[in-house]
Structure 1
Amino acid sequence: MGTIMHNQPPRSDVLKYVGTNLRRLRKEAGLSQEALANASGISRRMIVSLEAGNANISLGSLDRLAEALDTTFLKLVSNPERELRRIEEVMWRGKTDASKATLLGAAPARHDTQLWLWSLAPGERYVAEPDPEGWHEMIFVLEGALTLEFDMETQLVQANDFTIYNSAQNYAYLNAGKKILRFVRTVSS
């Protein structure tokens, strides 16, 4: 889940939620910022900035913070006043307005199951960080064609088709077509 959220509009609500939730969850866990930095591998400076709502962070780094706090990615990024099953927040933006990833909602599983709606403009590429072992993605392409790039292979998924794969590996999404690509992505652990 690893592209940096830096393409978000300034002071996005998601980053505000991350700051509020991170501070609350860290205090509930009885951890100092330094202890959380050591447990997560994220710098103390980044944690201070996140809690202040003034930092950008990769989705993979948010996963690491959630793991260090023994919580879920969803509890870290969600509006605390909204039901967890309906999240509907933009979590990633590409270089153009046509490229974005919206986390639609989640359902309980062993850890989490997340439902996303993605769109990529022509030529746009998203490079993910490998998820922890045991995580999988299911993708259903609505419009266009998705090129999935793995270390050893490339897979093309056309509109009205799907794929399922282990996401504990390097992978990227690419829209090599001439029109917008839209797909639904489910992530489960």
Structure 2
Amino acid sequence: MGNILRSQEDVDVLAHVADNLRRLRAAAGLNQSALAKVSGVSRRMIVAVEGGDANISVSSLDKLAAAIGVPFVELVRDPSRDTRENINAVTWRGTNPQSMSVLMAAVPATSQAELWSWTLGPGERYEAEPDPQGWHDMIVVTEGVLTLELAGASKDYAPGGFAVYSSARPHAFVNHTDKDVKFFRNTIS
């Protein structure tokens, strides 16, 4: 459940996702069944998301965006705003109330670049699914001590510490401390 948009806390983002998915799917000439087949996300989930009453994983949103042929940010951004430079959408909440991931901005790269602000409350863990080949993350810690688990190894990063790595493999962000951890993450595809 770690990488799920939660409807109670994130009503605006889920409303954007519902409206954006419906609009972008139609623009791509896909009905819900065709999108399910192409994306690997169940039709039942697509119906629920478009109805605004489903929690969906970030990785499933990635699959839907790829199947429609749009960047992830197009599914979560406020459609009434033309900009991708100031998105500020909560896309993940952990079990700890302080834990969240905020997609701050995105700009085109080979495909796309995204800037995220993360907070992990004490004891929180985020398990990331691998991104497609060619994607990379750059993180920099601003507060607390972040443990990055990557390729079976873990390393701690204090404020000012940073890492650059391929995100096309399983990885996790962990807070083993009793204080909040804050860091920025750039995802580049």
Q: TM-score range by the shorter chain?
A: over 0.9
Cα deviation per residue 1:23-54 (whole Å; 9 max; x = unaligned)?
A: 11111111110000000000001000111111
* Aligned-residue RMSD, C-alpha: 1.4
Name the counterpart of 1:59.
58
Match of 1:35 in 2: 34
Report what 1:162 is aligned to: 162
Counterpart secondary structure, 1:149: strand
| 1:165 Cα deviation from its structure 2 partner | 0.5
Distance 1:22 1:6, change over 3 A: closer
Residues 15-164 of structure 1 aligned to structure 2 (within 5 Å): 15-82=14-81, 83-164=83-164
Structure 1 residues 177, 93: closer, same or farther in 2, change over 3 A?
A: same
Deviates most, 8-17 or 81-90: 8-17
3-state DSSP of counterpart to 2:148 = strand
Contact 2:3 2:127 survives alignment (8 Å): no
Deviates further, 148-157 or 112-121 = 148-157
User: Once the 2 structures are TM-superposed, how far is the Cα of residue 112 of structure 1 from its aligned partner?
Assistant: 1.1
Q: Alpha-carbon deviation of 1:9?
A: 2.5
Deviation readout 1:90-121 (Å, 9 max, x if unpaired): 11111122111111111111111110110011
**Which deviates more, 135-144 or 78-87?**
78-87
1:70-89 CA deviation, whole Å, 9 max, x = no partner?
A: 11100011111121111011
Cα distance, 1:29–1:133 mapped onto 2, change above 3 Å: same
2:96–2:122: 8 Å Cα contact kept in structure 1? no
Measured in 1, the distance between the counterparts of 2:9 and 2:177 equals 30
Following superposition, the deviation at residue 6 of structure 1 comes to 4.7
Identity between Structure 1 and Structure 2 (%) = 47
Query: Which deviates more from structure 2 when the two are superposed, residues 92-101 or residues 10-19?
Result: 10-19
Report the count of equivalent residues: 188
Distance 1:117 1:6 in 2: 16
Q: What TM-score, normalized to structure 1? A: 0.95
Provide the secondary structure at the position in 2 that maps to 1:102: strand
- Give the CA deviation at 1:152: 2.2
Q: TM-score, normalised by structure 2?
A: 0.95
Gapped runs of 5+ residues in structure 1? Answer: none
CA distance in 1, matches of 2:109, 2:126: 26
CA distance in 2, matches of 1:158, 1:125: 17
Contact in 2 for aligned 1:128/1:171 (Cα 8 Å): yes
